[in-house]
Amino acid sequence: MLGNFSYSNPTKLYFGDEAQKHLVEELKNYGPKVLLTYGGGSIKANGIYDEVMSALSAAGKEVTELPGVMPNPTTDKLYEGATLAREHDVDLILAVGGGSTIDYAKAVSVAAWYDGDPWEKYYLRQEDPDSDLRIIPVGAVLTMVGTGSEMNGGSVITNHATKLKIGKVFGENVMPKFAILNPRYTFSVPQRQMVAGFYDIMCHILEQYLSGDDDNTSDYMAEGLMRSLIHSSRIAVKNPHDYEARSNIMWTSTWALNTLIGKGKSQDWMVHMIGQAIGAYTDATHGMTLSGVSIAYYRHIMSYGLHKFARFATAVWGVPAAGKTDEQLAAEGLDALSAWMKEIGVATEISSLGVTEDMLEGIADATLIMKGGYKVLSRDEIIAVLRESM
């Protein structure tokens, strides 16, 4: 394990097909005014809204609704929510949805009582909330898996005017206080969104796994999570209502990005940085922006981390190692990843997401270049990866 670190996670999880029954008892820990935030209406169609409303009513809450959180929530929506939360002086923000809604709730929680521009402070300048800021607690009812937002401090906001999509990782004081994880709540997610979430999970694990040459317990955990995801995803794409598969994937998703498997490890995150820049230009589905560039990116850096890529092939995909060089194994591992992506049906070309040739330079400029992976990319290399991904 590299370095010195601390680990704690304050989010209390309730998991299973009766998890929502715990909502009333959790709600009782907060004051009477609740800001209920959700997306474009899926929760009304699938009945989750009614269940949440009856829990709010049973807990005696006064509810202000904040619907319309769009996928890839925007700065304008953030300002709207911050004003509403402050005006109503709410005691809790209850986010019912996927990563967009939960990320958004976190952003509102630190924006409501901050007098400056939250986009500039938290996202552009990457500052933490002031120590005396009143932060509104957030609770989550998860309806779509992938981001891990239900148990982490991540919050990604998009500014369309400046074509920037930026994530901020907040600390424990912003992470959800509790999260309700009922796998059945995810059954109604459209197939395309479902598989985008599956790839998001895979990518979160890979960003933490494909880096470093040390022997590290976190990597063994990552391999187990990936094997479970691959197995269950194959079942879920054929039968989205398979509870066992969907529940395994939900649990994997949470553990893929709640900081556990990144502990004591170098990490990469370049696929996410490129994906976010693509998102800023196209507003495409997050998981698809990652799948669109992954294979080209990994082929580009593979020779710098050959041994790990070879281990990925054998430990995760079961590629037989006998008589093969690390180069051969590494290439076969990426072939297996690519075949699985096609099998589950995620985008493998960014042109299919609306990326056009004239955007490539701008996307490269909007990509934050991070260190920690096997190769620190130059701007030209990012353009090369993007071009190969078209």
**Contact positions toward ligand NZQ, by CB under 6 A?**
39-43, 46, 71-72, 97-101, 103, 143-144, 146-149, 152, 154-156, 167, 185-186, 188-189, 193, 197, 200, 257, 272, 286
- The nearest distance, CB 83 to ligand NZQ, in angstroms, is 21
- The nearest distance, CB 186 to ligand NZQ, in angstroms, is 5
CA dist., res. 249 & res. 315, Å (int): 19
- Interacting residues of 209 by C-beta distance below 8 A, sequence separation 6+: 219, 222, 223, 226, 261, 308, 312
- The nearest distance, CB 307 to Zn ion, in angstroms, is 26
CA dist., res. 320 & res. 258, Å (int): 32
CA dist., res. 309 & res. 233, Å (int): 22
- The nearest distance, CB 276 to Zn ion, in angstroms, is 9
Pairing of strands 33-38, 92-97: parallel
> Would you give the binding string for Zn ion spanning residues 1-40, x where CB under 5 A is met?
----------------------------------------
Measured from the CB atom, is 186 or 218 closer to ligand NZQ?
Answer: 186
Measured from the CB atom, is 191 or 351 closer to ligand NZQ?
Answer: 191
Measured from the CB atom, is 204 or 311 closer to ligand NZQ?
Answer: 204
- The nearest distance, CB 39 to ligand NZQ, in angstroms, is 2
3-state secondary structure of 223: helix
- The nearest distance, CB 147 to Zn ion, in angstroms, is 6
CA dist., res. 274 & res. 80, Å (int): 28
> Would you give the binding string for Zn ion spanning residues 192-211, x where CB under 5 A is met?
--------x-----------
CA dist., res. 49 & res. 370, Å (int): 40
> Among 325, 335, 330, 328, which residue's Cα sits nearest to residue 309?
330
Measured from the CB atom, is 200 or 219 closer to Zn ion?
Answer: 200
Measured from the CB atom, is 39 or 319 closer to ligand NZQ?
Answer: 39
- The nearest distance, CB 27 to ligand NZQ, in angstroms, is 21
Amino acid 14 reads Y
Q: Which alpha helices (DSSP H) does 59-183 contain, by range?
A: 75-87, 99-111, 118
Chosen from ligand NZQ, Zn ion, none, partner binding at 186 (C-beta under 5 to 8 Å by type): ligand NZQ
Measured from the CB atom, is 118 or 154 closer to ligand NZQ?
Answer: 154
Measured from the CB atom, is 97 or 332 closer to ligand NZQ?
Answer: 97
Instruction: Tell me the DSSP string of 25-93.
Output: HHHTTS-SEEEEEE-SSHHHHSSHHHHHHHHHHHTT-EEEEE--PPSS-BHHHHHHHHHHHHHTT-SEE
Q: Which residues in this chain contact Zn ion in the complex, by CB under 5 A?
A: 200
